[in-house]
């Protein structure tokens, strides 16, 4: 079905915006969570979030125009360890 990926991506972005507000990220970071930032040429282009207590990665995000370039590998690897 044409446009399915576009609709799905739009829906995912809306869900992410609802789940990851500035306040919710700050709350997670001051409890049992860690975050890692991916940068390209000094620009923040992605991040990952992990919960130390639960030993789980619950977020890895890269700006759409940087997807598919492998820039999320390092913060993801850091979150997994």
4-40 tens-digit pLDDT: 567 766 776 776 776 667 777 677 667 777 788 888 8
Quickly count: other Cβ atoms within 10 Å of residue 45's Cβ.
19
Single pTM value for the model: 0.56
pLDDT at residue 61, rounded to an integer = 83
Beta strands (DSSP E) in 12-73 are: 33-40, 43-51, 56-62
- Cα 29 to chain centroid distance, Å, stands at 14
pLDDT band at 60 (very low <50, low <70, confident <90, very high): confident
pLDDT for the residue 8: 67
What CATH number should be reported for the domain whose range is 4-80?
Answer: 3.40.630.30
Domain boundaries, the chain: 4-80
Instruction: Say how far apart CA 34 and CA 38 lie, in whole Å.
Output: 14
Contact 7, 25 (CB under 8 A): no
């Amino acid at each position: 079905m044409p446009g399915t990926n576009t609709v799905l991506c739009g829906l995912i972005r809306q869900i992410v915006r609802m789940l990851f507000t500035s306040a919710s990220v700050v709350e997670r970071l001051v409890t049992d969570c860690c975050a890692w930032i991916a940068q390209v040429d000094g620009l923040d282009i992605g991040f990952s979030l992990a919960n130390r207590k639960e030993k789980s990665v619950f977020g890895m995000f890269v700006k759409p125009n940087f997807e598919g370039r492998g820039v999320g590998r390092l913060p993801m690897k850091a979150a997994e360890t």
